[in-house]
Structure 1
Amino acid sequence: MTLEDLVRLRRARDLMDRDYSEPLDVPALARVALMSPGHFSRSFRAAFGETPYSYLMTRRIERAKALLRRGDLTVTEVCFAVGCTSLGSFSSRFTELVGESPSSYRARSHDDGAAIPACVAKIYTRPVRNGEARPDSPPLV
């Protein structure tokens, strides 16, 4: 993979970070990266270790967690606010990444993390897929 390819992939990833709540699909992201959809998907996975869809959903779940911690929106409102169109798919992915349902997450207290700076909290509250190491996990030997 060339440096130019990485620059174009980062452009698409930056678009996902910025416009996570917009309807984004692989063909649209591939156009931003100036690649065919298939080549974009393969290259994105090789460069960032996950598919474009998986990356986008992780961004959406991160934002959903922040909105749910505020407690002023329902789970359905949060689902649509972060760009998901199916409450069932949103809830399933949220539960998979966070380890509890959006309703349970919203209902519990989040006061423990109130004194932690946002830049640190972001690292420790990032949704983690099964098998990934958390920042506080011991290194694998």
Structure 2
Amino acid sequence: MSRKVEELNRRLLRARDAIDRAYAEPLDVPAIAAVAHISPAHFSRCFSSVFGETPHRYLQRRRVERSMFLLRETERSVTDVCFAVGFASLGSFSRTFREIVGESPSAYRRGHGPVVVPGCVQMAQFRISHRRAAPLSLT
């Protein structure tokens, strides 16, 4: 691997880490690309090539993953969870949640109570793959 490719990968990882840290804040591609010191168009192409999804879709997936935890583990309303994870509207949250998870936030909450397993196992089970892989079985 060339030095240039390694540097680009480091920049992309820095940008992805920034998304993970600030998922609940208003983020757009130019702001994330600035973290990587790359133009927005080039950043989007490289991010998609390396991680297999667009930066926007990655951000949405991270927000939905966090909302899944909040819906399972807290009594907060769906609307409160929606805004807590960074979505601007309940409609976009519900639509995105259904696209990624396969059911509405309310249905997810009804079918998934608090999980009583070690945190590392929870993270592995509920991590959403952009390829829609089935969750790990705990049995």
Q: Give the TM-score, by structure 2 length.
A: 0.88
Distance 1:109 1:53, change over 3 A: closer
Match of 1:10 in 2: 13
Match of 2:97 in 1: 94
Deviations 1:1-49 (CA, angstroms, capped at 9, x unpaired): 6110111111110001011000010000111111110000000011111
Distance 1:10 1:102, change over 3 A: same
Q: Number of residue pairs matched? A: 134
Give the secondary structure class of the aligned counterpart of 2:34: helix
* 1:80 Cα offset (Å): 0.3
% same residue: 54
Match of 2:133 in 1: 133
Give the secondary structure class of the aligned counterpart of 1:2: helix
Moved more, 98-107 or 50-59: 98-107
Runs (4 or more) in structure 1 with deviation over 3 Å come to 134-137
Give the secondary structure class of the aligned counterpart of 1:83: coil
Match of 1:118 in 2: 119
Unmatched 5+ stretches in structure 1: none
Give the superposed CA RMSD: 1.8
How do 1:1-141 residues align onto structure 2 when only pairs under 5 Å count? 2-111=5-114, 113-114=115-116, 116-129=117-130, 131-134=131-134, 136=136
CA distance in 2, matches of 1:77, 1:135: 26
